[in-house]
Amino acid sequence: MSARYAALAHGSTLTNWIVSPVIAESLSKLKTATGSNQSLLQFVDDGIVVAGLPVLVSDQVDVDTLFWGVPKAHVMFVQRKGTTVERFPAVYNDGIDIRAVSRLGIAFLNEAGMVRGYNVA
C-alpha cells in the first residue's frame, strides 16, 4: 500500500502493477497459510489482482525491480514526427505494396508518479 500512497503524494493514481514473469509466478503460488491450498491473491480471467490493481507481466522488467506501479493517465504512447507512408507497384501480384516508417515510444507525463519497488538489501 505504501506504493499507492507514494504515487498519490506525486499526483498519480496507480492503475496497474507490472512485474517480471518470475515475480508473477511467485505471486501466483502464495497461499493463505502453510499447507493451505487457498490462494492469497485474487485471480481474475486475465491474471491476478494485488491490492485491488491488475498485474501485468512483462519480460522487460529488470531483475533488480520487484514491480512497477503505473498510473494509466500519466503514460502515453507517442509517435514522433517524420512518419512516412509510401506506395510501390507490386508487379509480382498485379497490386500495390505499402510501406510505413514510424518512430514510436512511451512518454511519462509524471515520472515522479511512477513507483518502482525494489529490494534495498
pLDDT in tens, 75-119: 898 988 888 999 988 877 778 889 999 988 888 888 889 999 988
pLDDT in tens, 13-38: 999 999 999 988 888 888 888 887 77
Dmax of the chain from CA atoms? 68
Number of domains, the chain: 1
pLDDT given at position 121: 67
Instruction: Catalogue the E-assigned strands of 61-108.
Output: 65-70, 75-79, 84-90, 95-101, 104-108
Residue 54 lies in a domain: yes
The domain of 39 spans: 2-74+110-118
Residue 105 lies in a domain: no
C-alpha cell at 17: 502493477
Q: Across the strands, what pairs with 84?
A: 101
Residue 48 lies in a domain: yes
C-alpha cell at 16: 496497474
* pTM as predicted: 0.72
